[in-house]
Structure 1
Amino acid sequence: MAYDGDRGRSGDSLMFSTGGRPSVALTDPVNPSDDVLNSTISEPGEAPAARVPACVNTLGYDSDVFDLRRGLRHGGDQLAVRLVSHRDAAWAGALFAAVDTRKK
């Protein structure tokens, strides 16, 4: 969750990395890699989250859920997250991770 998301104003990104692997952009069809702070509320997938009332633009509030599977390393013990905003100030309000582990 972040504050000061501006739809259509590029220059902001959210990246993560795990223990020595290259950074991966957190992006999806609702959140472009160079405009991730775009005043949306989304869940993993191609459509914005179903909400009532269904506002298209949240006027600066951005809350998104990303699937981290493609960038996670098996057996990793570190996670780094980087929020960058080149054109606006941005404030991270909350960051959380839910992990489902499987024993092989």
Structure 2
Amino acid sequence: MIRPHRAHPLWLAFLLHRISGLGLALFLPAHFYVLSLALTRPASLDGFLHWTENPLLKVSEFGLVFLLAVHMFGGLRLLALEFLPWSPRQKTFAAAAAVASAFIASIFFISAVA
């Protein structure tokens, strides 16, 4: 049974912000490892960059940029909650942040595939 507060759009925004933060935190060690390849093993980096041409990775890049955009807009939403007066339009702002996140990730995906 879903608790009533968990069906609220702002609770879903809270959950999405936490999940996106967790996803980014899991991605960062892999990202730093790949960056270290540029300094320690350039030949391995070249092989990895060739592997990144895989279409499945292009789709995963969309997901990564989506997580980053969601997390950024979720952080802006939290700053608004902290520093701006509460308003009934908060649901609209949260929905707009989700739409903007999807839009930014889609633009990145289209440019990566093209």
TM-score (norm 1): 0.27
Structure with more strand by fraction: 1
Which one has a bigger Cα radius of gyration? 2
Relative to the length of structure 2, the TM-score reads 0.26
